[in-house]
Chain A
Amino acid sequence: MSEAVIHVEGLGKRYRVGERERYLALRDVLARAVTAPFRRNGQRRTRDYLWALRDVSFDVRQGEVVGLIGRNGAGKTTLLKILSRITRPTEGFAEIHGRVGSLLEVGTGFHPELTGRENVYLSGAILGMSRREIGQKYDAIVDFAGVERFIDTPLKHFSTGMQMRLAFAVAAHLEPEILLVDEVLAVGDLEFQKKCLGKMQEVSQSGRTIVFVSHQMNQIRRLCERVLWIDAGQIRQSGSTGEVIAAYESSQVGAAAESRGKCFLRWEVPGHGNVIRQLADEVVFRLELQLTEPVSKGHLGVNIVNGDSVLLIGWGFENVEIPAGRQELMVRVPFLPLRPGAYTLLCTLFNNGNNLNDGEAIEHWIAVPPLIVDTRPMTHAQDRWAGLLNIPAELQVPSTDTVRTSVAGS
């Protein structure tokens, strides 16, 4: 059952610097030929090349949904392009067992002069479907896209949103054994994105293998069981989704620019930077601020928002008195059982009242860096059943005297 359907070994891709994404004009080649004798030998060998991917090895098993994460330019797309045979590797090899469908772009092969119907057939054929297959799925595709009324008008009269929906609908009905997807769910409105995610989940549950690139960690969390983190052309970490994403997000924090608010200067979890590592202990948020005038009968709001913009918890403190000048505030929380991930800390400060009774807003501060929760997941192993909190539970079966804990992976 679970044999490797993708086997990658020592894969590397080298580009000549300047060659990537650019065509040559004959004069460049002539210029290079003319200057070549004056260059010292061997000089160009090392300097003119760039490894976009180097020494990458991994396996993907049948039915697995694997996420690829990493910063822009880390090599994720190059890897997908090699696996989908758009470009060839420079060294190493990959073996793929089964029919591959790749989705590196939504609307590949669409032509504005052709009608919606014609484009469905064309795009389907380009993505690897046979004419019969497209014919069978045609109604489902049009229905999914919700563009029945316009299907026989040229695509150029479609709105951008409609084009995107139709394009994704075609792609979503691709049924290869292995699907390679590059960041294509970031299109369309929120409603449609949800529909697409749902479709992807459906596909993954039907036992097909998916390799999925995204910058949106919530999408990766929802879809993938395993994540490969690619950094500077190499696999930096691979493992369970929660673990790798937490490590990735923690590393991103250092890179984020320090931004200051008008009066909020910085925040920290004393002794831990911006990371919460314990599940059940007290958590302290230390806020530093600089006030030009004192706050009296003020309001301080502290909110925690997750990556899907869901407000998880908010605290409001009324009748707050703070003297002017450089001040620090300590917000103590006895326990904070949040799921591992990155969160936004939202701080608001009002003078003379609050947001409801004519208080004077001093600042709404989106705290930087973000709050990272890096604890061990204690909930359901599948991301979509894990929920928002991270609290351990225990199952007892008294008649057999057995105990099971909810801790993932144990």
Chain B
Amino acid sequence: MAKPPVLRITPPSRWWAIPFGELWAYRELLYFFVWRDIKIRYKQTAIGAAWAVLQPFLTMLVFSLFFGKLAHISSGGLPYPIFYYSALLPWMYFASALQNATNTIVENQRLVTKVYFPRLALPLSSVLSGLVDFGVSFLMFIAMMIYYGIRPSAAALWLPVFLLMAILTALGVGLWLAALNAIYRDVRYVLPFLVQFWMFASPVVYSSSLVPAKWRWLYGLNPMAGVIEGFRWSLTGHGDPPGRMFLASAGVVLAILLGGVGYFQKMETTVADVV
């Protein structure tokens, strides 16, 4: 018989590492968390999955009417519904994933104080479960593309890259906010403003061509700028292929994510005492 593994419980150290091995060992729990989030979201709402379509669709209508038809913001020749919906797809995913990830530790505080599991599984699962809504609203986009007769180019193959970046951005920022929220409940009140400001700082209602070319890389420091611009480009061909702006975004995402994991793990050692 193999000798059972020895687990050593010690005071927290200053060092941290991304616990890939442990997350892998708990992959089934991660699956169950995702499954629970999705199931509960659709059980508690009367029209269930329809929300995933209605929210971006209605927002798209409002944007098309006010920013497009009335304010005449340039869409570079794209029909306004396509122009806005292609940006709202990643944005709505990001906003809700960020919100869920931020609240996840506080909402699961009973769990956190009663059972051990890698705490990273909580924000990770809330970011992943948002993908279902994303998928549903993406179907709507396909229908719109067919309606407007827009044929996607090979650039669409880039889509998974941008989606991954959206996921990592939501996770990275979500880790920071989830950790902060566990300690300072003020985060809950700050979050709606943050999301709102962030949307206007991202090319959702306008195209990033509005930003002078030489400042584009600076604009790219907002990782969602790279993600949204990338989505629009890969789905509709509007705008530029990934360049310096995208690289800046990717670098920032990586930094936020690594910092987030570190900060989250630092919080993790004491969270059961303070939540």
Contacts and interface: CB of A to CB of B under 8 A. Distances in A.
Decide whether A and B are members of one complex.
yes
A51 B48 CA distance: 49
Interface string B29-52: 101100010011001100000000
B210 interface: no
B9 A88 contact: yes
Contact of B7 (A26, A100, A125, A131): A100
Contacts of B29: 125-126
A149 interface: no
Given A86-B272, A130-B28, A95 B4 contact: no
A401 interface: no
A96 B6 contact: yes
A34 interface: no
Interface string A69-101: 000000000000111111111111111111110
B115 A102 contact: yes
B269 A23 contact: no
A5 to B, nearest CB: 8
Given A15-B273, A93-B10, A96-B6, A24 B39 contact: no
A127 interface: yes
Contact of B36 (A23, A102, A122): A122
Interface residues of B, number: 38
A24 B183 CA distance: 6
B223 to A, nearest CB: 26
Contacts of B115: 84, 86, 102, 104, 108-109, 126-127
B167 to A, nearest CB: 23
- Interface size bracket, A side: 35 or more
B274 A89 contact: no
Nearest to A124: B32
Interface in B80-134: 110-117
A343 to B, nearest CB: 35
A23 B186 CA distance: 11
Contacts of A85: 7, 9, 116
A29 B184 CA distance: 9
A202 interface: no
A126 B184 CA distance: 26
Contacts of A93: 8-11
Given A86-B116, A102-B115, 6 more contacts: A15-B273, A87-B273, A105-B114, A111-B36, A126-B115, A126-B117
* For the complex of A and B, 10 pairs with smallest distance between CB atoms: A85-B116, A98-B4, A125-B32, A94-B9, A26-B186, A96-B7, A87-B272, A105-B114, A104-B114, A93-B10
